[in-house]
Amino acid sequence: MSILEIDAGNTRLKWRVTKQGDVIARGVVNNTSPEDMVEAIAGEVESTEECWLASVRGAEVIAALSLAIQKRFSVSVQIPKPENGVGGLFVNEVDPARLGMDRWLAMLGARKLYPDQPVMVVDSGTALTLDVVNGAGVFQGGLICPGLKTMLKAMADSADLLVMPPEPVLERGLTFASIQAVQNGALTMAVSLVEREAERFGQNIKVILCGGDGQLLAGNMAIPVQLEPELVFEGLSVALKNAEREE
């Protein structure tokens, strides 16, 4: 069976098609209208037998996106529901739904790829989220901070003379010009946060990076990290296969 899997974030939509567990196509679409995003996918995907959708967008956008997918591909759209204990992930302090879909699925994906191992999941996109799960699969808590582009936009919006280039170059460390200092400052803050939290939990923890800026962070870390760009998709498969077993 071919499955169209979609991860719709605040800035862009990632998709891939799997068949018997193998990825046969993938792509990224910048956020526009739900109909235009689905048409962009249809330009690469002729047909699919099923669709799995995960999104952090609002209910109206998710509903519109689901409808556009149903009309274009004539398939049902499966959306996971965060529940405690799925995939061996236990969120005991709060309702898993209050974590946000992306955080829950990323942790599920980490449990799937690195079972019985303590993990720190860092998803760097519009926001930077950092979540820790111990070796028994119990959620230990997390942090949410502005993502790199969000930090840069906030600085540019707050200072009249700061004009960010369309494609900022972020490096770690001290620099001279104000604009470059702002860019380097954002990256250094993000990287230092991850390194500090990893140090607190010790050498046994596996630090896993995903999200749009995951590769940039990974290339500037002073600690061992594992880049898993499709971690949310891995969690999506765990969540929906569990739902199928319960039906």
Give the range among 17-21, 43-47, 67-71, 243-247 with minimum mean pLDDT: 243-247
Distance CA 226, CA 209 (A): 6
190 known ligand binder: no
Residue 168, helix vs strand vs coil? coil
Tell me the domain boundaries of the chain.
2-79, 86-236
The pLDDT assigned to 27 comes to 97
How many whole angstroms separate alpha carbon 104 and alpha carbon 111?
11
pLDDT tens digit sequence for 115-174: 999 999 999 999 999 999 999 999 999 999 999 999 999 999 998 878 888 888 899 999
107 is in an annotated binding site: no
Q: Is 84 annotated as a binding residue?
A: no
Residue 21 among known ligand-binding residues? no
* Matching residue, tokens 């498969």: 237
d(C-alpha 21, C-alpha 32), whole Å: 29
The pLDDT of residue 164: 84
Is it true that 2-79 and 86-236 share their CATH fold?
yes
Q: What confidence tens digit (pLDDT) does each residue in 190-223 have?
A: 999 999 999 999 889 999 999 999 999 999 999 9
Choice among 36, 102, 157, 213 that is catalytic: 102
| Cα gap 62→46, rounded to integer Å | 22
Q: What is the pLDDT of residue 21?
A: 87
**8 labelled binding-site residue:** yes
> E strands of 56-133, at which residues?
77-78, 119-124, 127-133
Cβ contact 240:105 at 8 Å: no
Active site residue 116: no
**Which tokens in the block code for residue 74?**
């004539």
* CATH number at 86-236: 3.30.420.40
* CA dist., res. 73 & res. 50, Å (int): 9
Separation between Cα atoms, residue 151 and residue 157, nearest integer Å: 10
To which H or E segment does residue 25 belong? strand 22-30
247 pLDDT more than 60: no
**Domain 2-79, classified CATH 3.30.70.100, yes or no:** no
- Chain segment 38-77, per-residue pLDDT in tens: 999 999 999 999 999 999 999 999 999 999 999 999 999 9
Whether residue 147 contacts residue 125, with contact meaning beta carbons closer than 8 Å, is answered with yes
Q: Is 213 helix (H, G, I), strand (E, B) or coil?
A: coil
Q: Which residue has the tokens 């319960």?
A: 246
